[in-house]
Structure 1
């Protein structure tokens, strides 16, 4: 067979790999800067004129052989991992970056010289190309001249270019200068010289170790004033540090072969900065330290060594921070909902490496990454790190909020204002000191009114968030109850069907034969065994119907509890009917007969979710013991719930109260709402979870007002 090679017209390849490959003029110039960097240049000068762009570097340069063997060889790259001479990780690798020239103009000259060698000039109009020797007045380097420009360049375009390069280049080895209309603009990397308290209030540092599959998260904060230290103990207002095993944190159904992917992903790091915006009236309420912050105008940038991935240069929300916030709109002060950082509150960078992260692959056009399983896993790990910051910050805000609520209850009445309102004419007899005091009281009321308005707005958002989740559950419950009503009409058949079939088989003379060895040898043909299993299902189905129909009875939401003991015993009795392997041990002390304000549905919601949680995590146990301890103290119901099961998943051992957050679950098919509902219900009745321990079985201490 005769061997053939593709022949591609210069004009067409310039169109495909130039104009269509590089979406913007900035990305095309940026690609050419990488060549300067890879050549070891200490400086890169970009001259933009009316119909000409010049890019000049002092790098290693090229000779005629380099032009013919590499430059003119499409898809070939002579660049490995590192330029050892200049100690730089090389940016190029695909052998198509030179076609960025075609995106910028129709005519190109490349004048290049290697040290102690003859200079060469390469020219093209994208129809024909040629190279010849020339003479130059510089020892080494390259000058690129692009004419017949495709775009008009005005100051606005140059400004956009400067902004783009400052975001896209993070190195310090090569200085970049843009020259336009007689002015020189030195480009500094956007994160150079930023400071806490000036440009941001908190810094989140992440380091992922692929071999250990572990993410380290460190938070340094200067958001709050020093007086919060005593309020938020034992939390530190300035520092947080922890390590997390990602094999426990990423749902296994999200990524096939999770362990392999986590190890192959490679080490990477991230440095993100949190900025709150104008604090306004919230500044005093939440003890914020800074009101005005000079935020860096970018999002999160992904760098591979010294250069960003073009489409992930901080303008695109590639981490889906906005989507996360929309799915969970709870304010940071929400007692049970999960606050999510907003897109405009976070900026920073993520660092990957050409060699360490080979599974994060560039697209052919170098304008992004392939969005495969490795990319999604990469994003999930960063998202988890962000969620640790969100949880840390929210824990501080919640404690401050609780402190404010207690403080507000202790506030004294505005005596002077009350006196003035009862007798306005008294103002004429007030001393200057008394008038100042009256004005202060009025200003205090105005501030409080603004805070209450803000609190109502936040409360409205919180309730909308709660209602969205609970509406989903309620809708599913109504669907289940509709089916339950339909099946309830056939209850008689469910209860008597098994016995009726057996009696009929006996009457027809088939029963003994069906129980013989011959007819019971094959499991799926074993009629008596199949009937027994169906009877077990029927019994569970009848119990399910009774539970579903009883749970939605109207009186459950209006009848107050007369006895804690009787109410819990009734809940326990229902569960024992459905699960014979459950054993309950109850200890109720100081039961106040007939003196409770809460209704039956409250305890049912709490204990049904706790018991269901115990069952779902211990389905393999033959016997599960559940202990419920209740003591009434000064109108507060103090409760302890525990089981002898497997305890908490490893990922919750160090932070057990994480299980109370919405959508937190260790089960691949779990929704993570059960414990959130328990916690939400407790907060509705001025209660809280005081302690959770999951080392030997599961144990939880909590209380509520009743």
Structure 2
């Protein structure tokens, strides 16, 4: 077979790899200054004129052989990992960056010289290109001249370019200068010199160790005043640090072979900065230290070594921060929901390496990564690290909010204001001290009104968030009940079907033959065994019908229970009938209801979810013992629940109460709503989870009030 090579027209390839590959003029210039960096230059000067752009460096330069063998060879790159002479990690690798010239202008020339060699000049109009020797007045380096520009350059365009490069270049060993209309502008990396308390209030540092598959998360914060120390003990308002085994955090439905992917992903780091925005009336309430912060409007930038490859202009939300917030819109004061940082509250950067992270592949225009499984895993790990900050901060806010509620209940009556409202004319007889006190009381009421208004808004968001989740569950329940009603009409067939089939087969004389060795040798042709399995399924279906139809009876939501013991015994009896391998031990220390008022549905929601959680995590056990101990003190029910199962997954051992958060689960097919519903229900009845221990079986102490 005759060997052939593709022939591509110069103008067409310039169009595809130049004008269409580099979406903006800034990204095209950025691509060219990478070449300056790779050449080892200590400086890069960009001159922008009305009809010409010049980019000058003092790097290694090129000779005629470099032009013919490398520069003119599309898709070929002679750049490895590092320039050993200056220890720079090289940015180029795809051999298409030179076509950024075509994005900027219709004509270009490159004048270049290697040290102690003859200079060359390469010219093109994208129809024809040529190279020849020339003479220059510098010892080494390269001058790029682009003419017949495609864009008009004004000051606002130059300003955009300066901001773009300051975001996109993070190195410090090449100085970049932009020259325009006689002025020189020095460009500094945008994160250089930022300070806590001025540009952000909290810094989240993440370091991923692929060898150990561990993520370390460190938080430094200056958000709150020092007075919160006593309120939030034992939490520190200034510092948090922990290490997490990511093999325990990644589900198989996210990555099929998590261990392999976690190791191949490679080491990386991130530094994210949080700022709250304008505080307003909440500053005193939550003891915020700073009122206004001059944050950087960069978004989260992804760098591969010295150069950005995503969110170069600060607009791309490649970590999906906004989506995370929309999925969990709970306020930080929400008792059971998860607060998520908003997109406009976060900026910073993530660092990857050309050699350490080869599985994270650049797009052709090097303005992003290929969105494959490694990319998704990479984002998930960063998202997990960010969730540790969200959880840490929310725990502080909740404790402060609890303190505020207690404080509000203990407030003294506004004596002067009440006296004034009862008899307004007394204001003329008030002393200066009483008038000042009256004014303070009125200001307090105004402030409280504003705070209550804000609290109502937060409460509305919280309820919307809860209702969204519960609506999904309710809809699934209604669908299940509709099917249950249909099956209930065929209950007789489900109960007697197995028996009727066997009796018919015996009557026709087939049953004995079907049980012989000849007809039971092959499993899928074993009729008696198949019928037995169908009978087991029928029994489960009947139990399912009883549960579903019983749970939605209207009276369950209105009739107050008369005995905790009787209600729990009914719950236990139902589960025991469905799961013969369960063994319940009830200990009701005090069953005097007294002033306590609660309906059956509340107890069923709590204990059904707890029991179901125990079953689902211990399906391989032959026998499971569940202990429930209850004691009533006044209007409070104290409960100790435990099982002798496998206990909590490794990822929850250090932070067991994490299982109460919405969508937290260690099961690949789990939804993570069961324990959240338990916790939510307890809070509805002014209760709380006191303690969770998952080391020897699962044990949880909680209370609720009525």
Q: Distance in 1 between matches of 2:385 and 2:260?
A: 20
Partner of 2:448: 448
Q: CA deviation at 1:374?
A: 0.8
Partner of 1:549: 549
Partner of 1:528: 528
What are the equivalent positions in structure 2 for 1:578-657 lying under 5 Å apart? 578-593=578-593, 595-657=595-657
TM-score, length-scaled by structure 2: 0.98
Residues 29 and 687 (structure 1), Cα distance of their counterparts in 2 relative to 1, 3 Å cut: same
Residues 475 and 219 (structure 1), Cα distance of their counterparts in 2 relative to 1, 3 Å cut: same
1:217 and 2:217 aligned = yes
Partner of 2:143: 143
Q: Distance in 1 between matches of 2:269 and 2:491?
A: 61
Partner of 1:258: 258
Deviation string 1:441-494 (CA, Å, 9 cap, x unpaired) is: 000000000000000000000000000000000001011111111111222222
Q: Distance in 1 between matches of 2:634 and 2:241?
A: 39
Residues 593 and 144 (structure 1), Cα distance of their counterparts in 2 relative to 1, 3 Å cut: closer
Partner of 1:368: 368
Q: CA deviation at 1:143?
A: 1.2
Deviation string 1:387-423 (CA, Å, 9 cap, x unpaired) is: 1111111111111111111111111111110010001
The answer (yes or no) to whether the contact 2:300–2:311 under 8 Å persists in 1 is no
The answer (yes or no) to whether the contact 2:177–2:187 under 8 Å persists in 1 is yes
C-alpha root-mean-square deviation of aligned residues, in Å? 1.3
Q: Distance in 2 between matches of 1:156 and 1:349?
A: 26
Q: Distance in 1 between matches of 2:311 and 2:601?
A: 53
Residues 411 and 594 (structure 1), Cα distance of their counterparts in 2 relative to 1, 3 Å cut: closer
Q: How many aligned positions are there?
A: 706
The answer (yes or no) to whether the contact 2:301–2:311 under 8 Å persists in 1 is no
Partner of 1:107: 107
Q: CA deviation at 1:310?
A: 5.0
What are the equivalent positions in structure 2 for 1:230-241 lying under 5 Å apart? 230-241=230-241
Q: CA deviation at 1:2?
A: 3.7
Q: CA deviation at 1:201?
A: 0.5
Residues 313 and 655 (structure 1), Cα distance of their counterparts in 2 relative to 1, 3 Å cut: farther
Q: CA deviation at 1:594?
A: 5.6
| Matched position secondary structure for 2:375 | helix
| Matched position secondary structure for 2:528 | helix
The answer (yes or no) to whether the contact 1:624–1:644 under 8 Å persists in 2 is yes
Q: Distance in 2 between matches of 1:513 and 1:54?
A: 95
Q: Distance in 2 between matches of 1:311 and 1:345?
A: 16
Q: Distance in 1 between matches of 2:270 and 2:179?
A: 33
| Matched position secondary structure for 2:56 | strand
The answer (yes or no) to whether the contact 2:200–2:294 under 8 Å persists in 1 is yes
Q: Distance in 1 between matches of 2:266 and 2:292?
A: 39
Q: Distance in 2 between matches of 1:310 and 1:637?
A: 54
Q: CA deviation at 1:313?
A: 4.9
Q: CA deviation at 1:12?
A: 1.9
The answer (yes or no) to whether the contact 1:560–1:596 under 8 Å persists in 2 is no
| Matched position secondary structure for 1:244 | strand
Deviation string 1:190-218 (CA, Å, 9 cap, x unpaired) is: 10000111100111111111111111111
Partner of 2:359: 359
| Matched position secondary structure for 2:45 | strand
Q: CA deviation at 1:559?
A: 0.8
Q: CA deviation at 1:245?
A: 1.2
What are the equivalent positions in structure 2 for 1:300-339 lying under 5 Å apart? 300-310=300-310, 313-339=313-339
The answer (yes or no) to whether the contact 1:561–1:596 under 8 Å persists in 2 is no
The answer (yes or no) to whether the contact 1:563–1:594 under 8 Å persists in 2 is no
Partner of 1:689: 689
Q: Distance in 1 between matches of 2:14 and 2:134?
A: 25
| Matched position secondary structure for 1:568 | helix
Q: CA deviation at 1:21?
A: 1.3
| Matched position secondary structure for 1:123 | strand
The answer (yes or no) to whether the contact 1:562–1:594 under 8 Å persists in 2 is no
Q: Distance in 1 between matches of 2:6 and 2:510?
A: 79
Greater than 6 Å deviation, 4+ residue runs: none
Deviation string 1:289-330 (CA, Å, 9 cap, x unpaired) is: 111100001100000000001555532001111011111110
Deviation string 1:535-577 (CA, Å, 9 cap, x unpaired) is: 2222221121111111111111111121111111111011001
| Matched position secondary structure for 1:12 | helix
The answer (yes or no) to whether the contact 2:310–2:318 under 8 Å persists in 1 is no
| Matched position secondary structure for 2:339 | coil
The answer (yes or no) to whether the contact 1:312–1:368 under 8 Å persists in 2 is no
What are the equivalent positions in structure 2 for 1:464-503 lying under 5 Å apart? 464-503=464-503
Farther off after superposition, 179-188 or 448-457: 179-188
Q: CA deviation at 1:518?
A: 3.2
Residues 527 and 125 (structure 1), Cα distance of their counterparts in 2 relative to 1, 3 Å cut: closer
Q: CA deviation at 1:186?
A: 0.9
Q: Distance in 2 between matches of 1:40 and 1:703?
A: 67
The answer (yes or no) to whether the contact 1:55–1:143 under 8 Å persists in 2 is yes
| Matched position secondary structure for 2:621 | coil
Structure 2, unpaired ranges of 5+: none
Q: Distance in 2 between matches of 1:705 and 1:255?
A: 43
Q: Distance in 2 between matches of 1:48 and 1:524?
A: 79
Residues 311 and 22 (structure 1), Cα distance of their counterparts in 2 relative to 1, 3 Å cut: farther
Q: Distance in 1 between matches of 2:505 and 2:76?
A: 81
Partner of 1:46: 46
Partner of 1:152: 152
Partner of 1:273: 273
Partner of 1:507: 507
Partner of 1:129: 129
Partner of 2:411: 411
The answer (yes or no) to whether the contact 1:562–1:595 under 8 Å persists in 2 is no
Q: Distance in 2 between matches of 1:255 and 1:295?
A: 36
Q: Distance in 1 between matches of 2:696 and 2:55?
A: 68
1:574 and 2:574 aligned = yes
Partner of 1:458: 458
Partner of 2:395: 395
Q: Distance in 1 between matches of 2:44 and 2:504?
A: 95
The answer (yes or no) to whether the contact 2:31–2:97 under 8 Å persists in 1 is yes
Structure 1, unpaired ranges of 5+: none
Q: CA deviation at 1:496?
A: 2.1
Q: CA deviation at 1:598?
A: 1.1
Q: Distance in 2 between matches of 1:143 and 1:524?
A: 78
Q: Distance in 2 between matches of 1:502 and 1:87?
A: 82
Q: Distance in 2 between matches of 1:66 and 1:517?
A: 82
Q: Distance in 2 between matches of 1:586 and 1:292?
A: 56
The answer (yes or no) to whether the contact 1:300–1:314 under 8 Å persists in 2 is yes
The answer (yes or no) to whether the contact 2:301–2:310 under 8 Å persists in 1 is no
The answer (yes or no) to whether the contact 1:333–1:398 under 8 Å persists in 2 is yes
The answer (yes or no) to whether the contact 1:312–1:318 under 8 Å persists in 2 is no
Q: Distance in 1 between matches of 2:631 and 2:310?
A: 62
